[in-house]
Amino acid sequence: MHEMAVTESLLAIATRHGEAAGASRVTDLYLVIGRLSSIVDDSVQFYWDFVSKGTVCEGARLHFERVPATFRCLECQSHYELDGDFTPCPECGSSRIEVVAGEEFRLESVGIES
Amino acid sequence: MTASSRRVEVREDVLGANDLLASENRARLELAGVFSVNLMASPGAGKTSLVERTVQALAGQMRVAFVDGDLATSLDADRAAAAGAAAIQINTGGECHLDANMLQGALDQLDLGRTDLLIVENVGNLICPASFRLGTHKNVLIASIPEGDDKPYKYPGTYRGVDALVLNKIDLLPYVPFRMEYFRQGVEMLNPGVVTFVLSCRSGEGLSDWLQWLVGSVEAHRDTRKVE
Predicted confidence (pLDDT) at residue B123 exceeds the cutoff of 90: yes
CB within 8 Å: A24 and B13: no
CB within 8 Å: B13 and A96: no
Helix (H) / strand (E) containing B24:
helix B16-32
Residues near B160 by beta carbon (within 8 Å), at least 6 away in sequence: A99, B190, B191
pLDDT at B224: 63
Average pLDDT over residues B113-129: 92
CB within 8 Å: A96 and B192: yes
- What are the b/e assignments for A15-40, b being 16+ CB within 10 Å? bebbeebebebbbbbbbbbbbbbbbe
| Nearest one of B191, B202, B138 to B168, comparing CA atoms | B202
Q: What is the mean pLDDT of chain A?
A: 90
Considering only alpha carbons, which residue of chain B is nearest residue A27? B5
Which of A21, A27, A106 is nearest residue B13 as measured by Cβ atoms? A106
Predicted confidence (pLDDT) at residue B223 exceeds the cutoff of 50: yes
Average pLDDT over residues B1-27: 91
Regarding the domain with residue range B17-214, which homologous superfamily does it belong to in the CATH classification?
P-loop containing nucleotide triphosphate hydrolases (3.40.50.300)
| Nearest one of B193, B195, B225, B190 to B209, comparing CA atoms | B195
Give the model confidence (pLDDT) of A49-68 as tens digits: 999 999 999 999 999 999 98
CA dist list (Å): B88 to B29, B106, B116, B195, B226:
16, 7, 16, 28, 28
Coil, strand or helix at B7:
strand
Predicted confidence (pLDDT) at residue B228 exceeds the cutoff of 50: no
* Residue A67 identity (one-letter amino acid): V
Considering only alpha carbons, which residue of chain A is nearest residue B131? A37
Lowest model confidence (mean pLDDT) among A95-104, B42-51, B179-188? A95-104
pLDDT at A1: 54
Sign of torsion over alpha carbons B69, B71, B74, B79: negative
> Is ipTM beyond 0.90?
no
Give the model confidence (pLDDT) of A16-45 as tens digits: 999 999 999 999 999 999 988 878 888 899
**Could you tell me if B72 and B125 are in contact, meaning their C-beta atoms sit under 8 angstroms apart?**
no
Give the model confidence (pLDDT) of B163-184 as tens digits: 999 999 999 999 999 999 999 9
Supply the pTM of this predicted model: 0.87
User: In which order are the strands placed within the sheet that holds A97-101?
Assistant: A79-82, A69-73, A97-101
Report the share of chain B in percent with pLDDT over 90.
75
pLDDT band at B199 (very low <50, low <70, confident <90, very high): very high
Considering only alpha carbons, which residue of chain A is nearest residue B125? A1
Average pLDDT over residues B43-69: 95
CB within 8 Å: A114 and B16: no
Average pLDDT over residues A95-114: 91
Closest CA–CA distance from residue A79 to any residue of chain B (Å): 15
Residue-range definition of the domain harbouring residue A39? 3-113
> What is the CATH number for A66?
3.30.2320.80
Average pLDDT over residues A87-95: 86
CB within 8 Å: A96 and B188: yes
Q: How many CB pairs under 8 A join A and B?
A: 98
- Say if A62 is an interface residue toward chain B (CB within 8 Å): no
Lowest model confidence (mean pLDDT) among A84-88, B66-70, B102-106, B128-132? A84-88
Predicted confidence (pLDDT) at residue A95 exceeds the cutoff of 90: no
Structurally, how many domains does chain A consist of?
1
Predicted confidence (pLDDT) at residue B227 exceeds the cutoff of 60: no
Instruction: Parse chain B into domains and list their residue ranges.
Output: 17-214
